[in-house]
Amino acid sequence: MHRLYEYGDIAVFWDSEKCRHAKMCVTGSPKTFDIQRKPWIDLTKAPTMEIWQAIEKCPTKALTCVYAHEVTTELDPDNCRSVAYISAAPVSEVTSETKYSEGTDSTSTTDNRKQIGECDFRRTDEGFVIYHTEVLPEYEGKGIARRLVFRLLEAAEKEGMKVIPVCSYAAKVLSGK
Ligand code: SF4
Tens-place pLDDT, residues 108-119: 444 689 999 999
Q: What is the pTM of this model?
A: 0.86
CATH ID of 2-67, from 3.30.70.20, 3.40.50.620, 3.10.20.580, 3.40.50.300: 3.30.70.20
Residue 23 CB less than 6 A away from ligand 1 = yes
CA–CA distance, 125 with 53 (Å, rounded to integer): 42
Q: Of 48, 134, 131, give the one whose Cα is nearest residue 84.
A: 134
Contact 22, 44 (CB under 8 A): no
Distance 20 CA to ligand 1 centre (A): 6
pLDDT score at 103: 42
Q: Which ligand 1 atom is nearest residue 23's CA?
A: 5
Contacts of 151 (CB under 8 A, 6+ apart): 4, 73, 74, 75, 82, 119
Backbone angles phi, psi at 57, to 5 degrees: -85, -10
User: Which residue ranges make up each domain of the chain?
Assistant: 2-67, 71-89+110-175
Residue 61 CB less than 6 A away from ligand 1 = no
Residues of the chain with pLDDT under 50: 91-110
DSSP states of 86-137:
EESS-GGG--S-EE--SSSS--EESSSEEEEEEEEEEE-SS-EEEEEEEE-G
Percent helix, percent strand, percent coil in the chain, to nearest 5: 30, 35, 40
Backbone angles phi, psi at 64, to 5 degrees: -140, 165
CATH number of 71-89+110-175: 3.40.630.30
pLDDT score at 99: 37
